[in-house]
């Protein structure tokens, strides 16, 4: 099983982690792809090694720091000091920047040639650098404009083009043939009066672009960020899987998908699901259901008693029925699942399709320190509970990954911090 993650902070940007992940349908049971809510490059790199991931997509604002932390950097990463893709090759963490293909692929699809064209790139971040790199390599005459002039000039020098401040855009934009904006939605640096039908406007934002309306009114050719998302994803997918992506199907897939009404917390025993669930439910104003607690109340016995007296198969059957009932409810609920719920293929499928499945993660040793082993039948019967926990986690890891929409690391976070992180990530998507 190869596991891949996409990581980044919650930002309103064209390559949002959740939507990027949604562009990747799984083509085989050998691959799992999920979102990872790391809050620093160092945390993302630690999780990458801790989970034994095969690859990872990286979003703003981590592209520069992740390039620094890689073992091997592709030529474009060395030039740009930014990457959006990590892949394990020969046991080393290798960094690539496939954003450049997002730019060239989108322009080719739109029938726009770059050679000899005057190109203005707005923004000198990771996306702006990739755009300038791609346009310069395609023969364009490129100017990078950024609020911080020194940053634009440093980036331009590394690529072999010009860098200016945003205050010079008024003089440059009317003469440009192609304008690529990689600015955040709230930054308005392009005056509609500067635009003519001869302009090609390419906005990295693919949802709610303010430039779209400006370009339409001015009669410009407009390209949104959906193509960028697709065409940078295809080469990353090849590196991850060794397979050829079904680009035609990806083009037809909706970028914005309605999220299920329920939120389910999955993960190993002791990871923190039962503590996080009520805190998250409180933030969201939703009821909470702890499946294990509900089972004990319904059966009139504790989980250890149920497994000890009637066997694990009976317990799993009761667990399945309880979760099916919860997921069928019309009332949106935060559901805390048992650690082994995902081992039942039907439940894994139901959780993935009918809930936003959040993988609450902590290493097995950390989980073990949080629980009373004597109350955990699957561990208590072993002479070495820690070894048993590690082996059990390894068996379940791929199922957690295949079921999860997002992973949150609880190792050094309280239940309040974890619930807030989940709340922020979900709210960021719901408010698009």
* Interaxial angle between packed helices 312-328 and 303-310, expressed in degrees from 0 to 180 and rounded to the nearest 10: 130
Q: Quick one: pLDDT at residue 28?
A: 45
The beta strands (E) that lie in 167-304 are given as 178-181, 200-203, 221-223, 262-266, 288-290
Question: Is 239 an active-site residue?
Answer: no
**Whole-angstrom distance, CA of residue 120 vs CA of residue 181:** 8
Q: Is the dihedral of CA 217, 218, 221, 226 positive or negative?
A: negative
Q: Which CATH number fits domain 101-224: 3.40.50.10860, 3.40.50.720, 1.25.40.10, 3.10.20.740?
A: 3.40.50.720
CA dist list (Å): 347 to 291, 310, 318, 319, 352: 13, 21, 12, 9, 8
Looking at residue 389, its pLDDT comes to 94
| Model confidence pLDDT, tens digit, residues 290-329 | 999 999 998 899 888 988 899 989 999 999 999 999 999 9
The predicted model gives 237-264 an average pLDDT of 82
Is the distance from CB of 148 to CB of 128 less than 8 angstroms? no
* pLDDT tens digits, one per residue of 49-102: 999 998 999 988 899 999 999 999 999 999 999 999 999 999 999 999 999 999
Which pLDDT band, with edges at 50, 70 and 90, does 255 fall under?
low
Contact 10, 426 (CB under 8 A): no
> What is the pTM for the complete model shown?
0.88
The domain locations on the chain are: 2-96+236-252, 101-224, 262-430
Average pLDDT over residues 348-370: 96
pLDDT of 184 above 90:
no
CA distances from 412 to 71, 277, 418 (A): 26, 17, 10
CATH topology agreement for domains 2-96+236-252 and 101-224: yes
Q: Cα separation of 209 and 213, whole Å?
A: 8
Q: How confident is the model at residue 24 (pLDDT cuts 50, 70, 90)?
A: very low
252/181: higher pLDDT:
181
Query: Among 278, 247, 307, which residue's Cα sits nearest to residue 109?
Result: 247
Q: Assign domain 262-430 one CATH number from 3.30.1490.190, 3.30.70.260, 3.40.30.10, 3.40.50.300.
A: 3.40.50.300
Q: What CATH number matches the domain at 2-96+236-252, 3.40.50.410, 3.30.9.10, 1.20.1200.10, 3.40.50.10860?
A: 3.40.50.10860
159 pLDDT more than 70: yes
State residue 21's pLDDT score.
33
Looking only at the bridges linking them, the beta strands covering 55-58 and 85-89 are antiparallel
SS3 363: coil
Q: What is the band of 15 on the pLDDT scale with cuts at 50, 70, 90?
A: very low
Which pLDDT does position 374 carry in this prediction? 87
The H-or-E segment that residue 360 falls in is strand 355-361
One of 15, 63, 151, 397 is an active-site residue; which one?
A: 63
What does the alpha-carbon distance between residue 226 and residue 31 come to, in Å, rounded to a whole number? Answer: 24
pLDDT of residue 383 exceeding 80: yes
How far apart, in whole angstroms, are the C-alpha atoms of residue 92 and residue 79? 20
263-275 per-position pLDDT tens digit? 999 999 999 999 9
Q: How many CB atoms lie within 10 A of CB 2?
A: 18
Q: Cα separation of 15 and 232, whole Å?
A: 10
Q: Cα 3 to chain center, whole Å?
A: 13
């Amino acid at each position: 099983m190869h596991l891949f993650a996409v990581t980044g902070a919650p930002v309103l940007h064209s390559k949002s982690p959740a939507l990027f992940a949604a562009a990747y349908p799984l083509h085989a049971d050998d691959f799992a792809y999920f979102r990872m809510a790391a809050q620093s490059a160092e945390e993302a790199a630690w999780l990458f090694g801790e989970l034994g991931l095969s690859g990872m997509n990286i979003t703003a604002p981590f592209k520069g720091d992740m390039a620094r932390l890689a073992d091997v950097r592709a030529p474009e990463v060395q030039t740009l000091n930014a990457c959006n893709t990590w892949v394990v090759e020969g046991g080393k963490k290798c960094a690539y920047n496939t954003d450049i293909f997002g730019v060239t692929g989108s322009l080719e699809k739109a029938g726009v040639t770059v050679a000899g064209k005057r190109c203005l790139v707005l923004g000198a971040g990771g996306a702006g650098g990739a755009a300038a790199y791609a346009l310069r390599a395609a023969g364009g005459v490129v100017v990078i404009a950024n609020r911080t002039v020194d940053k634009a000039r440093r980036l331009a020098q590394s690529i072999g083009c010009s860098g200016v401040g945003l205050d010079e855009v008024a003089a440059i934009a009317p003469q440009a043939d192609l304008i690529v904006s990689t600015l955040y939605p709230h930054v308005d640096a392009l005056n509609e009066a500067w635009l003519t039908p001869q302009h090609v406007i390419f906005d990295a934002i693919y949802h709610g672009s303010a430039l779209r309306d400006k370009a339409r009114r001015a009669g410009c050719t407009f390209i949104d960020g959906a193509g960028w998302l697709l065409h940078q994803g295809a080469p990353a997918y090849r590196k991850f899987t060794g397979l050829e992506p079904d680009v035609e199907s990806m083009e037809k897939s909706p970028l914005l998908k309605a999220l299920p009404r329920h939120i389910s917390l999955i993960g190993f025993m002791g990871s923190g699901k039962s503590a996080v669930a009520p805190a998250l439910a409180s933030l969201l104003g939703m009821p909470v259901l702890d499946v294990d607690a509900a089972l004990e109340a319904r059966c009139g016995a504790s989980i250890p008693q149920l497994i000890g007296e009637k066997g694990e198969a009976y317990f799993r059957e009761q667990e399945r029925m309880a979760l099916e009932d919860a997921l069928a409810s019309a009332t949106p609920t935060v559901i805390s699942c048992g650690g082994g719920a995902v081992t039942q293929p039907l439940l894994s499928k139901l959780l993935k399709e009918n809930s936003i499945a959040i993988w609450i993660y902590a290493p097995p040793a950390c989980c073990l320190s949080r629980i009373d082993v004597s109350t955990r039948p699957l561990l208590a019967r072993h002479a070495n509970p820690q070894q048993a926990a590690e082996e059990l986690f390894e068996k379940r890891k791929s199922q957690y990954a295949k079921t999860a929409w997002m992973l949150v690391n609880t190792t050094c976070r309280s239940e309040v911090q974890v619930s807030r992180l989940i709340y922020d990530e979900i709210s960021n998507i719901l408010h698009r």
